[in-house]
Structure 1
């Protein structure tokens, strides 16, 4: 593990921050300098970043799930020894546990922190909350622990955005609410809850056309992709708005379906000669 030789190095000055980026791909920065880490050691650092304070046995079992326990622990010891040979090593080993140095800032922690603040009713910076977790965890990695954490963080972000939109809507901040709902919709287009929020926001603003349009855009998407209809909860949002339209449509249908009255034609001379009235 070494600093990129094409970049100016910061060395290992005390107090120099270390940033570990796992969202959108693995990157380890010492100050502003990228640190080159072999792929095998990237897995070790990434897992420790996601499992702070994990025991050696737990780490070894996740990293080498198909190996016998002793061999997995031996592989972990070798990996940790290699990492500690570098002065920029961000690890701290205490007894049986391994964690990242306190100087290390992990982007996943920023997402988790933003979600916690929103959940507790706080108001994190709008731009920071919307951008947090916009990229998937370690794309292209298919370890079981990566897949599980990727889905966990994806769901965490979706719920954070929906909670944020709901809080803005309750406070009458319709623009901010719509921005958060659209961000959630972009992250998962087939998920109903952000579409439902968009409809509610438009209705709160008095934009009936926008609300109906948003509903039918989602309905068409759902029918096309999954052959499903929106839920009763989403349909109920527009009952009052669509009621006059439905009544008018039923009225026109009834008029069209009503049989036309018989029209009696005037008798012709031929009819009179035949004795017909």
Structure 2
């Protein structure tokens, strides 16, 4: 089937919270089994019915699991816009369905794999969307949540470096600090911040941020910054750590 891509498409949002939207942007009510089914297909792609039944209803017998799957499919069909593509034993999301995790993945990989000049489509807000289904504790969600977290952090650091190389320091700093906000203890995110300050010849800001991270690492981890980080700045600027106590004296 060929779809008219010029028309608004339904959307599935999994970052921050679950939300299925019709083409007009209105929320489509979906019960919990339907939410789990749509999320699984969004994160894993086309999947056999047997795998879906066994994964989403592991606590019941196979026949009952298949029955639950059929009921869920029937309710999704009645709920709103058609979002599923049935290919015999395989189930998948329809190609025209806009899925925010897919956009995040494509954007992050493009940023990591290419060194092209930054464009309007390379926006920090795509990478700083909420965490994947934060209240869900299914094993397949937890794994994908961590994968997406790591992917977006690497992409933000890559974007920051690219923007800095093109003299777009404010945007570069925004990208780097977004990475710090997502993972405050990630040294490479802090190195990206310092790199932007140095590229803009703001040595004082770079030193201040380095020492802030050094204090945090000492208190939270009992560690010093890596040699990679310390060699970014003049040695005379690194010791002593202003206001920094030894890890064993914190608190």
Taking structure 1 as the reference length, the TM-score comes to 0.76
- CA shift in 2, pair 1:55/1:225, >3 Å: same
1:22 aligns with 2:17: no
Match of 1:93, SS state, is: strand
**Which deviates the most, 168-177 or 28-37?**
168-177
Q: Secondary structure at the match of 1:99?
A: strand
1:133 Cα shift? 4.5
Among residues 226, 231, 235, which one is paired with 2:226 in the alignment? 231
Show the 5 A alignment for 1:126-205.
128-205=123-200
Structure 1 85/24 Cα, relative in aligned 2: closer, same or farther at 3 Å?
same
Deviates more, 1:80-89 or 1:144-153: 80-89
Residue-by-residue CA offset, 1:179-209 (whole Å, 9 max, x unaligned): 2111111111110001111122222222221
Gaps of 5+ in 2: 1-6, 240-251
Alpha-carbon RMSD across the aligned residues, in angstroms, is: 2.3
Q: Output the CA distance in 1 between the equivalents of 2:66 and 2:155.
A: 37
Distance 1:237 1:77, change over 3 A: same
1:230 Cα deviation from its structure 2 partner? 0.9
**1:33 matched to which residue of 2?**
26
Q: CA deviation at 1:137?
A: 0.9
Once the two structures are superposed, the pairs formed by residues 40-119 of structure 1 within 5 Å of their partners are 40-86=33-79, 88-119=81-112
Matched residues in 1 for 2:60 and 2:224: separation? 47
Larger radius of gyration: 1
Structure 2 residue aligned with 1:217: 212
Task: Name the CA shift for 1:77/1:212 in 2 (closer, same or farther; >3 Å).
Answer: same
102-111 vs 186-195, which moves further: 102-111
Q: After TM superposition, give the deviation of residue 145 of structure 1 in Å.
A: 0.9
| Per-residue CA distance 1:124-155 (angstroms, 9 max, x = gap) | 53673334342011121111111111111111
What does the per-residue CA deviation read over 1:29-50, in whole Å, with 9 as the maximum and x for residues that have no partner? Answer: 1122211111221111111122
C-alpha distance 166-16 of structure 1, shift in aligned 2 (>3 A)? closer
The 2-side partners of 1:139 and 1:190 are apart by 20
| TM-score (ref. length: structure 2) | 0.83
Name the counterpart of 1:271.
none
- Deviation, 1:70, is 4.4
Q: Which has the higher contact order (CA 8 A, sep 6+)?
A: 2
